[in-house]
Amino acid sequence: MNLRVLNRLALRLAQAVPVLLVVAVVTFLLMHLLPGDPAVVIAGPEAGAEAIERIRHQLGLDRSLPEQLLLWLASLARGDFGRSLMLNQPVLVALGERLPVTLSLTLVSFAITVPVGVALGVLAARFRNTWLDSAVMFLALVGVSVPSFWIAILSVILFSVILGWLPASGYVPLSDGLLPWLLALLQPAAMLALFQIGFLARMARSATLDVLDQDYIRTARAKGVSEWSTIAKHAFRNTLIPVVTATGIILSLLMGGSVVIEQVFALPGVGRLIVQAILTRDYPLVQGTLLALAFLFVAINLLVDVIYTWVDPRVRYG
C-alpha cells in the first residue's frame, strides 16, 4: 500500500463524516415524524396521562425537537449512543450483541453470492445463446423474482423438516465452533444469497460479454491464446471492474435483506432488533442502529475503493 492509496483512504474517511451527520439528522427526524410515543408504550395500557407525562419528562421527550436533536448529536460526539428505552441497556451494548449475528449472516451469504454469481455469469457469457445461457438467465430471473421469505420457508420444509439436514432456526455463535456456526447460517445465508446471485449473474454476464467484444481480446486470440485462457486471464480481471462495484451494492443489499431472513430463521440479529425498536418507538435504539448501519455502508464503499486500486491499474496511478 503506497502513500497515494493512504491519501485516498483518508480523504474518503473525511468525506464520511458529513454523510453520517446527514444520516443522523434524517433518522432522527423520521423517527419523530412517526405517530406514537415511547412513553405510552413504557407506561403500559393502564397508565394515566400524568404518569405518561412524567415518563416523557424523564426521557427528555418534552423538550423541543431541535433541543432533543442537539442533545443527541452532542452525546454522539462524545461516543455515547444513549440507552435503549425498552431493553434497559445501552444502545451500543445491544448492538454489540446483535451485530455479530447479522455480520456473520451477511458474510456467509456474501461468500456464497460472489463466486456462484460470477461463475454463472461468466459461464453464461462464454456459452452465449446456448441452452446453458438460457438456463442461467432463467435461474437468475427466478432468483430476483421470488420473494425470499417464501422460498426460505419452502427450503426449511425441505431441508429441515423433511430431510433434517440443517437446523430450521436459531444461531450458534462462532465461539461454539466453526462448523456448528456455519451449519446454522448455511440455510439462511443461501436463501439470502439467491436474490443477489441472480442480480450478480446477470451483471457478470453482461460485463463479460462487453469485455469479450474488446479489441484486446482479439489481440489475445491473435497471439494464439486458447479460448479458456482468454477468458480466465484477459477477460476476467476486466470483468471484475464493474463486478467490484456491484459487490459493494450487494453487501449493502445483503445487510438490508437480512432483516427479513432473520425473522424467518429467528436469528437474533440487527434486523430483528431494528424491527422491534421501530415497533416500540425506541428512538435511541433505532437512531443508533441506523447510524451504525450507515457507518458500515460507508466502510464497505471504502473497501470497494481499495479493491479497485488492486483490480484496475489505471485507478492506482490515475
Partner 1 sequence: MTAEPLLSVDNLTVQFRTDTGWLTAIEDVGFSLGAGETLGIVGESGSGKSVTALSLLRLHATATTRIPTGTITFAGQNLLRLPSRALRRIRGGEIAMIFQDPMSSLNPVLTIADQIGETLALHQGLDRAAARRRAIELLDLVRIADAAHRVDAYPHQLSGGQRQRVMIAIAIACRPKLLIADEPTTALDVTIQAQILDLLRDLQAELGMSVILISHDLGVIAEFARRVLVMYAGRVVEAAPATTLFRRPMHPYTSGLMQAIPPLDADVHRLPTIQGSIPDPARRIPGCRFSPRCAEAQPTCRITAPSLVPVGPDHLARCPPRAGAAR
Q: Which stretch binds partner 1 (CB under 8 A): 65-73, 170-178, 183-191, 215-223?
A: 215-223
Write each residue from 114 to 153 as x if it is in contact with partner 1 (CB under 8 A), else as -, in one continuous string. --------------xx------------------------
Contact 274, 289 (CB under 8 A): yes
312 binds partner 1 (CB under 8 A): yes
Q: Which is nearer to partner 1, 46 or 213 (CB)?
A: 213
Work out whether 218 is an interface residue with partner 1 (CB under 8 A): yes
State which of residues 238, 247, 289, 301 lies at the interface with partner 1 (CB under 8 A): 238
CA angle centred on 78, ends 74 and 83, rounded to 5°: 80
Least distance from C-beta 129 to partner 1, angstroms? 7
Give ∠ CA 65-67-69 in degrees, rounded to 5: 70
Q: How far, in Å, CA of 230 to CA of 220, rounded? A: 6
Residue choice 2, 64, 222, 228 for contact with partner 1 (CB under 8 A): 222
**In 10 A of CB 152, how many CB atoms?**
22
- Angle among Cα 249, 255, 261 to the nearest 5 degrees reads 130
Nearest to 171 by CA among 269, 36, 82: 269
Is 311 a binding residue for partner 1 by CB under 8 A? The answer is: yes
- Separation CA 273–CA 35 (nearest Å): 20
Q: By three-state DSSP, how is residue 100 classified?
A: helix
Q: Is 58 in the site for partner 1 (CB under 8 A)?
A: no
Please say which residue, 4 or 218, places its beta carbon nearer to partner 1: 218
Cα–Cα distance measured from residue 111 to residue 183, given in angstroms and rounded to the nearest whole number:
14
How big is the site for partner 1, counted in residues (CB under 8 A)?
25
Q: Which of 194, 197, 205 is nearest to 129 (CA)?
A: 205
- Closest of 232, 294, 252 to residue 21, by C-alpha: 294
Among 70, 221, 279, 306, binds partner 1 (CB under 8 A): 221
What span, in angstroms and rounded, lies between the C-alpha atoms of 266 and 178?
Answer: 20
Site string for partner 1, 8-47 (x = CB under 8 A): ----------------------------------------
Compute the least distance from the CB of residue 243 to partner 1, in Å.
Answer: 13
Query: Which is nearer to partner 1, 61 or 220 (by Cβ)?
Result: 220
Gyration radius from the chain CA atoms:
24
Q: Segment near partner 1 (CB under 8 A), from 28-36, 169-177, 229-237, 280-288?
A: 229-237
Asked if 4 interacts with partner 1 (CB under 8 A), we say no
For partner 1, give the closer residue by CB, 37 or 133: 133
Please, how many CA atoms are within 13 Å of residue 309, restricted to the half-sphere of its CB?
Answer: 17
The interface region with partner 1, picked from 25-33, 41-49, 211-219, 263-271 by CB under 8 A, is: 211-219
d(CA 204, CA 45): 54
What is the closest distance, in whole angstroms, from the C-beta atom of residue 232 to partner 1 in the complex? 12
- What residue ranges bind partner 1 (CB under 8 A)? 128-129, 214-216, 218-227, 233-234, 237-238, 311-314, 317-318
